[in-house]
Amino acid sequence: MLKLVNHVLYCVVQEISDTCSMLMLCSAECADGYFGHLCNNTCRCYDETEVCDKVTGHCESGCVPGWTASDCQTGWLIGFLSWIFLSAFVSNCLLAGLRAVWNG
């Protein structure tokens, strides 16, 4: 049994022949407000009435405050703290290298 969460299921019934009365063809897409391969990502569009792209998560209106990236899944604070950490790491390595050269 297939369990679909955050999906909308579309089905079409087609008559095959006199001996086989029906065939049901179904496809699924993410429900509004969700996106991605398994529809497990939440849309974070600035315009609350906008439905993000159900594959990429892109929002035409941009991201809600605090979120960034093309799919609005990266918290800006996390990105900012990562940048500070990387900057401090590079600065410390650079200073250590300069000290080594200076001190011989």
Find, among 2, 4, 25, the residue nearest to 15 by Cα: 25
Number of structural domains found in the chain: 1
Task: For residue range 47-65, list pLDDT tens digits in order.
Answer: 999 999 999 999 999 999 8
Residue 97 lies in a domain: yes
Rounded CA-CA distance 102/16 in Å is 84
What are φ and ψ of residue 7, in 5° steps? -120, 155
Residue 102 lies in a domain: yes
Task: For residue range 62-103, list pLDDT tens digits in order.
Answer: 999 889 899 999 887 655 555 555 566 555 555 565 566 556
Residue 34 lies in a domain: no
Q: Report pTM.
A: 0.58
CA separation (Å) from 89 to 63, 86, 101?
30, 5, 19
Rounded CA-CA distance 98/49 in Å is 54
Rounded CA-CA distance 86/99 in Å is 20
